[in-house]
């Protein structure tokens, strides 16, 4: 147990979601295209909660808003795991590779404290 929650793997969640869809005969609708569209729709619902909030205050969720934000994040996570499953992508391994790519693009000693895109650093003196 960790913070009152079971520690489970992405694979365990993937299998639960796969079974959930199969039990409801929804797998036929869970194409990468449809799942991607659903993920974007859920991401837009998440953004609505922060649309008119000042950036510095966006981490301070009101108690009445927090459950909705949690649900939108869960929906996004669920669709992300389903898409990866449908495409045969190991999401954890892909994330590890992407972190390594980002570490090369954004070396800490060069970008610390800056939010610029990596292409904006090209030509800067290191």
Q: Pinpoint the alpha helices (H) of 4-107.
A: 10-23, 32-48, 66-87, 91-105
Q: How far apart, in Å, are the Cα atoms of 126 and each of 14, 78, 102, 105?
A: 43, 41, 17, 13
CATH number where 30 lies? 1.10.287.1080
**Overall number of domains in the chain:** 1
In this model, does residue 27 exceed pLDDT 90? yes
Q: What pLDDT sits at residue 4?
A: 58
- Max CA-CA distance within the chain? 58
Average pLDDT, the chain: 89
Q: Is residue 25 part of a domain?
A: yes
Q: What is the pLDDT of residue 78?
A: 98
> Which tokens sit at 122?
């090209």
Q: What is the pLDDT of residue 122?
A: 67
Identify the pLDDT of residue 25: 98
CB 78 within 8 A of CB 17: yes
Tokens of 110: 């060069």
Query: Which of the four pLDDT bands, split at 50, 70 and 90, describes residue 1?
Result: very low
Does the residue 118 lie in any domain? no
18, pLDDT greater than 80: yes
Residue 123 placed within a domain = no
Whether 118 shows a pLDDT value over 80: the answer reads: no
Per-residue pLDDT at 36: 98
Q: How far apart are CA 19 and CA 113, in angstroms?
A: 44
| Domain boundaries, position 71 | 10-52+62-113
Distance CA 27, CA 10 (A): 19
The pLDDT of residue 125 is above 60: no
pLDDT digits (tens, 9 = 90+) for 28-61: 999 999 999 999 999 999 999 999 888 888 888 8
């Amino acid at each position: 147990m960790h913070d009152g929650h079971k520690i489970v793997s992405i694979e365990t969640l993937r299998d639960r979601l796969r079974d959930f869809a199969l039990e409801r005969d929804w797998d036929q609708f869970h194409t990468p295209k449809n799942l991607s569209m659903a993920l974007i729709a859920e991401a837009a619902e998440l953004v609505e909660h922060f649309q008119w909030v000042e950036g510095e205050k966006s981490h301070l969720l009101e108690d009445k808003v927090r459950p909705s934000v949690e649900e939108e994040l869960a929906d996004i996570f669920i669709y992300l795991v389903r898409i990866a499953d449908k495409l045969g992508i190991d999401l954890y391994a892909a994330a590890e590779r992407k972190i390594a790519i980002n570490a090369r693009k954004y070396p800490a000693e060069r970008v610390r404290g800056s939010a610029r895109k990596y292409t904006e650093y090209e030509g800067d003196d290191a």
